Amino acid sequence: MLRDDLQLIRKRLEAAENIAIFAHLMPDGDSVGSVLALGWALEDAGKKVQYIAQDPIPERYQFLFQFIPGGKNPFIPEPVGADCYVTPDISSADRAGAFFQEHPEIPVDICIDHHVSNQGVGKLNWIVPESPAACEVLNAILPELGLSFSKRISSALLCGIITDTNSFSNSNVCASSLRAAADLIDKGADIFYINHLAYKEHTIQEMDFWRVGMTNMKIDDGLAWSVITKAEREAMGIITTDDPGFVNYMGNTSGVKVSVLFIELDELTTKISWRSLPGYNVAEVAVCFDGGGHKAASGATVRGQRMTDLIPAVLARTKEMITRSSEQK
Ligand code: 5GP
Ligand code: MN
């Protein structure tokens, strides 16, 4: 990746008039933050922007909509008549939803990302795998793209950095993340407010999710794992499919190297999340199940198998990685 690539991305954006920016499936704070920040910066530069998300935007990130005149959710499921397609925080085109599979003639023009598993989703790519958040990548390159900051852009970027770093506590957080955050605070982002709304605050339903997750949790030789079935989600009245941070919490148990959470979405679809301590690469396990992500945080969505049949295979692969990595230490 050359610095020149940024100039090509800048030229491509300057040439475009109607830009579609995609959130990923089950959007997280980094996805929502990077889409809104880039979109707002491009709108400030006079572009028409379409905000695309196939899945609903979780309520905890909707405080960012207050920065939009009228406060309305700007996301729509599919773009209409765009001339440039951008995917921030997206490691493979299918993570944007069905759109690029259903329209093979439409390419991803620009991908800005931080996933180690990203092979180059776009015609033009800016991928910084050592960066803990796509929002941090965007924060660093916005000036080189000829785009400016504002209070709302800074707020969206800080939302992504806070949520993807678990509020500056992950192993990949470095001085640059803290400098980026400090700059964003200087530019108007309210760190307490964003941290509270996007990261810390939880609903009673989310507490229920944790309670069931803890009840089902098993710990075995450095591996903690748990399951939330569809029936359990329905009994709790949970309609969203995301994990409100439970896999991170399990991973913080003493002696645990890797945590895995299985969420049954339907009879033949399971969402898997992995978290790990340094020295244990869960991305390599996630890739075996057609997923991806980062060394310390990865995910996969497995279709066509019952969760009960899938679990032993996933645990075996994960344990094999733990044993091999422990031996290398
Ligand atoms: P989470 O466990 O929070 O859903 O995701 C952790 C990391 O794994 C994120 O960086 C996310 O991009 C990646 N990830 C989650 N689910 C999937 C998936 O289904 N496919 C791929 N390729 N990556 C995923
Ligand atoms: Mn991210």
pLDDT of residue 239: 74
pLDDT band at 242 (very low <50, low <70, confident <90, very high): confident
Average pLDDT for 170-175? 90
Q: Indicate if the alpha-carbon torsion angle 225, 230, 235, 241 is positive or negative.
A: positive
Environment of ion ligand 2 (residues, CB < 5 A): 30, 89, 134, 164
pLDDT digits (tens, 9 = 90+) for 206-241: 999 999 999 999 999 999 999 999 999 999 988 777
| Residue among 102, 125, 99, 123 nearest 112 (CA) | 125
> From ligand 2's centre to the CA of 156, what distance in Å?
13
pLDDT per residue over 243-284, tens digit each?
Answer: 889 999 999 999 999 999 999 999 999 999 999 999 999 999
Q: Which fold has domain 204-328?
A: Diaminopimelate Epimerase; Chain A, domain 1 (3.10.310)
DSSP 268: T
Can you give the pLDDT at residue 58? Answer: 93
Q: Which residue has the tokens 């400098």?
A: 179
Question: Does ligand 1 lie within 6 Å of residue 300's CB atom?
Answer: yes
pLDDT value, residue 1 = 56
> Domain extents for the chain?
4-200, 204-328
**Are 37 and 108 a contacting pair, CB within 8 Å?**
no
Reference 280, options 238, 235, 224; nearest CA is 224
**What is the identity of the amino acid at 184?**
L
Considering only CA atoms, which residue is closest to atom 23 of ligand 1? 292
pLDDT of residue 226: 98
- CATH number for domain 4-200, candidates 3.40.50.150, 3.20.20.140, 3.90.1640.10, 1.10.10.10: 3.90.1640.10
* 88 in contact with ligand 1, CB cutoff 6 A: no
Query: Is-contact 124 8, C-beta < 8 A?
Result: yes
